[in-house]
Structure 1
């Protein structure tokens, strides 16, 4: 069957966007990359583009079947609105709740176009994993989802390296979190409900952070007693972040804190991404808990080593584009990550890496 998506634009060619474009190219799409800076020598066409110029942005999207925004969360709405204006399928990596709400509005106003935000790790892959586990249960008591993008060899009291957007991490730590408690949606403070987690003999800690569930709370409200998303860190991390934000009074200085943290804990190449999902309830008539636990390391793609956070995020996003293009997912409306089957994702060109790699078995 012919694909419904052939020409794809990728906006933002940073540490994830460049790989998104490369994986789309490998999956057989015709790719155009856009960034404010020139990127010569890549395997696909590139152009310089300033998304703040709406007319120029819309012109760039005309003629494309789909666009994947790999920009910072606060620039995605501009791309989504331009995609709606020209009838271009839209995908992004955002964890930002207001951005997703605007994308949902656009999906309801734009017939014949698919809008698929939250295609990264959390929200994104972790929701796909959790929802796929849950489908095997007759009754679901809880869905617990956790992701950690960490250095393999941590140092210092924070035990962390900012391989991802510092602005995004700070927002996750400070914005309230949507959860299900007793089957109902609630908002609770971030960096609370800390717990110990062991993966492959390594002790970690987990605490609530915002945005990681995407649209799962309204999806499962009234059907699941308890649902939450927590970020994994090395022990003691959240205590230090509470000191920074609360005792030093820096909650209202997010940009300054972000710059300070990146300078203190810069990116590293030897990272690891942990995925930890657990569902409890009744399965085959008996009480049961099912776990899905993976640890993903950096891998080589097309002769170049890519950090774990980069390739896992990019592969998840590209796999979803493939599923829409191939008709496995609908070509219209707002698509939720929890409606995607993990087996279908594993069957895509990009998503097969999740089935092939992973230091810790399910």
Structure 2
């Protein structure tokens, strides 16, 4: 039976979600946004659209009536408004936020809801949480769980060796907010842009450093089981030093608006990107200390005649897979749902999750 989906956000990820869901023939998507100009791209390809101010409570409630679920692809600061709207409308809620504080709000709303609330359904948090938990399940005891993720330009040309591939606000959040981790069995907060490391994969050298939000709820899920749990963003060597110059030496950490303007004026957007996922778990198995890793390189591809970048594909595939698996009864029908409640093999066998297979 066709399921009605309200998708909030007519941006780059919104178009990817819409195209992936539409080609199944099993989801009827209505895309809502405050920008008529942004919505035109959707109406031009025959998608139902709705000009909507989410801060207009009655209008948001009307938009949610009769929907199976709302998918929130808006900026993280809208999370609370949309989550409370989904609660009032008694429909399922999915989002892509990496913002820790926003997810805490979703958890509070979900505690009293009769529908499912599934936040952090993207790449990191999202797939990496599922992958790490899937690896960890194969060990008798855990020592180190390391998550390393990067959305990178395939052809870097500037000094930062970086192009914008997704939300600038989300990127700044990652670079400036405290980073959750587990050290020596204790939950801690680490400073961002620290603990720089270098590694090589298939002959290419990368750097990685602390960034915020990528662990999702893993610190809670693995509490008491893991000695060390860390998440770092992957970049090409030299990137971290320049970002630290901007946010620390030039004090742009105090001027997020100006930092956003600088990045968006200086760094072009690229569709020629690659998403790198590198998850490693070590621990005891059958009495021996062992290590196992998952490595993925995801590239863009064409969907319904439109080219989607690697970050569009990987992010949209995550939320579409969780929606699809929930609709099939593989996730709880109500309450707060963590990404890692989804078994890795089930996720990878899903028609959307196979992007990561």
**Which TM-score band (shorter chain)?**
over 0.9
Partner of 1:12: 9
Query: What does 1:53-92 correspond to in 2, within 5 Å?
Result: 53-92=56-95
CA distance in 2, matches of 1:24, 1:331: 21
Quote the offset at 1:185 in angstroms: 0.3
**Structure 1 stretches of 4+ moved >4 Å:** none
Quote the offset at 1:165 in angstroms: 0.9
Match for 2:117 among 96, 115, 128?
115
Q: Matched residue of 1:267: which SS?
A: coil
Partner of 1:97: 100
Quote the offset at 1:44 in angstroms: 2.7
Partner of 1:345: 347
CA RMSD of aligned residues (A): 1.2
Q: Deviations over 1:181-210 (max 9, x none)?
A: 011100110011111121221100000100
Partner of 1:359: none
Partner of 1:35: 33
Check the 8 A contact 1:142/1:281 in 2, yes or no: yes
Partner of 2:297: 295
Partner of 1:203: 205
Q: Matched residue of 1:20: which SS?
A: helix
CA distance in 2, matches of 1:136, 1:120: 24
Check the 8 A contact 1:115/1:334 in 2, yes or no: yes
Quote the offset at 1:318 in angstroms: 0.2
CA distance in 1, matches of 2:135, 2:179: 23
Check the 8 A contact 2:19/2:304 in 1, yes or no: no
Query: What does 1:194-273 correspond to in 2, within 5 Å?
Result: 194-273=196-275
CA distance in 2, matches of 1:7, 1:284: 48
CA distance in 1, matches of 2:145, 2:332: 26
Q: State which drifts further: 343-352 or 242-251.
A: 343-352
Q: Deviations over 1:11-42 (max 9, x none)?
A: 00110011112212223112111122232222
CA distance in 2, matches of 1:52, 1:18: 22
Q: Matched residue of 1:109: which SS?
A: coil
Partner of 1:311: 313
Check the 8 A contact 2:151/2:274 in 1, yes or no: yes
Quote the offset at 1:353 in angstroms: 2.2
Match for 1:146 among 143, 148, 159?
148
CA distance in 1, matches of 2:297, 2:265: 27
CA distance in 1, matches of 2:262, 2:71: 30
Q: Deviations over 1:248-277 (max 9, x none)?
A: 111110121012101111111110000000
How many pairs are equivalent? 351
Q: Matched residue of 2:111: which SS?
A: helix
Q: Deviations over 1:54-108 (max 9, x none)?
A: 1101110011010000001111211111000010100000001111001000111
Partner of 2:18: 21
Match for 1:183 among 182, 185, 188?
185
Check the 8 A contact 2:115/2:334 in 1, yes or no: yes
CA distance in 2, matches of 1:291, 1:346: 16
TM-score by length of 2: 0.96
1:131 aligns with 2:133: yes
Quote the offset at 1:43 in angstroms: 4.0
Check the 8 A contact 1:166/1:259 in 2, yes or no: no
